[in-house]
Amino acid sequence: MARFTSIVVGGRLRVVRDRLVELQHDAVLVGSLTNIRYLTGFTGSAGLAVVTRSGGILCVDGRYGQQATEQLTRAQCDLEVRVVRTASEMNEVIARYVASHSSVVFDATEFTLAQIEALGGVTPRMHRADGFIGVVRECKDDAELERISFAAACADTALASLESLLEGGKVTERDIRDELEYLMRKAGADGPSYDTIVASGPNAALPHHRPTDRRIVEGDTLVIDVGALVEGYHSDMTRTFLVGQCAPDLVEMYEAVREVQQSAVEMVRPGVECGSIDAWCRDEFTRRGHETLLAHSTGHGVGLVIHESPWLRAGVDAQLKPGQVVTVEPGLYRGGVGGVRIEDLLVVTQTGHTVLTNSPKESPCLQSPPTI
C-alpha cells in the first residue's frame, strides 16, 4: 500500500479567504462535493459548506457527523461541523448562516434552481461567481501531485501487459479493459479513473467508444484510453497501437498524431496560452491535410475531477501556471476505418513541464494475434 503525504487544507482555505478579501466578499457558499472535499477533506456523499474570511461551517446529516469531524481534524480544517437530521434542516441552517453575512458568492454550476430557492433564493447579498473554487483547485500541491503521479504509474504498469494479453489470440476489447482495470488495482489504485476505453478497428474512429466483444485482428488500430483513481485523484493516458500490418493511411495517421502530440507536449510551460496549443495542433493537422479527421480539442486539466480547468481548447486565453496538471491528447479519426489518439499527462513546472505518463509512444506496432 502506497504511503502519501497527508493532505492538509489550511493553505487552500487561505487562498480562498484571500480571494474573498480581494473581491470584497464575506463568504462563499459551496455545494459541490468535490470542492467540499478539496477545502475540508470530507468525503461523504451529502453536505453543504460556507467558508468565511475567518472561519465557516460544514453541515452534514447524521450519517456523517463522526466521519466529518475525524476527516476535518485530520486535514487540519478549521470549519465547524454542524450535524442535522434532515435535508430541509440542513437548508435552514445554511440559509440562516448565509443571511448573517452581507456579501456571499456562489457558483451557479454547483446548484439547481430548486436548491438555491431552498437556501433562501438569490437575494441582493448573493453574488454569482462561477469557478470561484475551481480556479483555486487548478494548481496542485505536493500531496496532490504524489497521488496523481502514483495513479499515472499504476496505469503505466497495467498497460505494460498489453502485448502478453494479445498472445493467446481471440482477445476482445472487453477482455483488455477488464484486465487493465484489474492490474491497476493490483498495482495499488482504488479503481479506474473513468470508463476505460478500448477501441479497435472501425471502433477506434469513435473517441469515447465503449468496449465490446469485438476481437482484435490483423490491421487494426487499437486505441486504449486508461487512467487510475487514487484517493480521489485521477490520471489519464491514451496510447494507440498498430496490430500487425496496417493500411498505409493508418500508419501515416499514427505518425502525424505522434509528431504533433510530441510537439504540443514541448509547448507546455508557464505563461503559454492554453488555446494557443490547441490552435497550433489544428493548424498543423490542416497543413498535413487532416483537418476533416479532427473531432475534439487538445487537452484539459486533471485532478479530483477527470475533466476540469484549465482547458486546452480554442479561444481559451488563460495562461498555464506551475502546479497545473493537464493532458495533451490530439487525435485523428476516419469513420468506418479507424482512429489514432495519443495522450500524456503533464504537470506544469516553474520552467517547463514533467510528463507523468511513461508508456512508450515510439514503437506502436504489435504482433498479429494468432488466428487459431
84 part of a folded domain: yes
Of 93, 117, 137, the residue at which a domain comes to its end is 137
- Higher-pLDDT residue of 371 and 322 is 322
Q: Quick one: 164 and 312 in the same domain?
A: yes
- Which of these ranges, 181-190, 315-324, 355-364, has the smallest mean pLDDT? 355-364
Q: Quick one: 94 and 29 in the same domain?
A: yes
Q: Quick one: 56 and 149 in the same domain?
A: no
Comparing CA positions, the residue from 133, 122, 119 lying closest to residue 90 is: 119
Distance separating alpha carbons of residues 221 and 313, to the nearest angstrom: 26
Comparing CA positions, the residue from 165, 277, 151 lying closest to residue 222 is: 165
Distance separating alpha carbons of residues 43 and 55, to the nearest angstrom: 20
303 part of a folded domain: yes
Q: Quick one: 212 and 318 in the same domain?
A: yes
pLDDT beyond 60 at 250: yes
Provide mean pLDDT across the span 278-289. 97
**Residue 184: other Cβ atoms inside 10 A:** 29
1 part of a folded domain: no
Distance separating alpha carbons of residues 320 and 105, to the nearest angstrom: 25
Could you tell me the pLDDT band of residue 265, with boundaries at 50, 70 and 90? very high
Distance separating alpha carbons of residues 167 and 294, to the nearest angstrom: 33
Domain extent, residue 224, equals: 142-366
Per residue in 294-311, pLDDT (tens digit) is 999 999 999 999 999 999
C-alpha cell at 372: 487459431
DSSP state of 324: B
Distance separating alpha carbons of residues 239 and 160, to the nearest angstrom: 11
Per-residue burial over 89-109, b if 16 or more Cβ lie within 10 Å, else e, is: ebbbbbbebbeebeebbbbee
Q: What is the CATH number of the domain that holds 283?
A: 3.90.230.10
Per residue in 41-92, pLDDT (tens digit) is 999 999 999 999 999 999 999 999 999 999 999 999 999 999 999 999 999 9
Comparing CA positions, the residue from 140, 126, 59 lying closest to residue 94 is: 59
Of 137, 162, 183, the residue at which a domain comes to its end is 137
Q: Quick one: 132 and 166 in the same domain?
A: no
Q: What is the CATH number of the domain that holds 122?
A: 3.40.350.10
When the pLDDT of each residue in the chain is averaged and rounded to a whole number, the result is 95
371 part of a folded domain: no
Q: Quick one: 130 and 146 in the same domain?
A: no
Q: Quick one: 248 and 318 in the same domain?
A: yes
Number of structural domains the chain divides into: 2
5 part of a folded domain: no
Which secondary-structure segment (H or E) carries 142?
A: helix 142-159
Could you tell me the pLDDT band of residue 371, with boundaries at 50, 70 and 90? low
Q: Give the pLDDT of residue 150.
A: 98
Q: Quick one: 157 and 300 in the same domain?
A: yes
Provide mean pLDDT across the span 339-362. 96
106 part of a folded domain: yes
pLDDT beyond 80 at 370: no
Strand, coil or helix: 327: strand
Strand, coil or helix: 33: helix
Could you tell me the pLDDT band of residue 1, with boundaries at 50, 70 and 90? low
Q: Are 90 and 115 in contact (CB under 8 A)?
A: no
Q: Quick one: 58 and 23 in the same domain?
A: yes
Across the chain, where does the E strand assignment appear?
27-30, 48-52, 56-61, 80-84, 104-106, 126-128, 191-192, 197-200, 221-226, 228-230, 233-234, 237-243, 299-301, 308-312, 325-328, 331-334, 338-341, 344-348, 353-355, 365-366
pLDDT beyond 70 at 136: yes
Of 88, 113, 137, the residue at which a domain comes to its end is 137
Provide mean pLDDT across the span 91-107. 95
Q: Quick one: 272 and 165 in the same domain?
A: yes
Q: Could you write out the three-class secondary structure of 73-130?
A: HHCCCCCEEEEECCHHHHHHHHHHHHHCCCCEEECHHHCCHHHHHHCCCCCCCEEECC
Q: Quick one: 87 and 162 in the same domain?
A: no
Within 8 A by CB and 6+ apart from 172, the residues are 211, 212, 213, 214, 215, 216
Distance separating alpha carbons of residues 298 and 264, to the nearest angstrom: 9
The CA radius of gyration of the chain, in Å to the nearest whole number, is 23
C-alpha cell at 193: 479513473
pLDDT beyond 60 at 166: yes
217 part of a folded domain: yes
Q: Give the pLDDT of residue 170.
A: 86
Q: Quick one: 18 and 122 in the same domain?
A: yes
Distances in Å between the Cα of 328 and the Cα atoms of 96, 199, 219, 311 are 45, 19, 26, 10
101 part of a folded domain: yes
Q: Give the pLDDT of residue 3.
A: 86
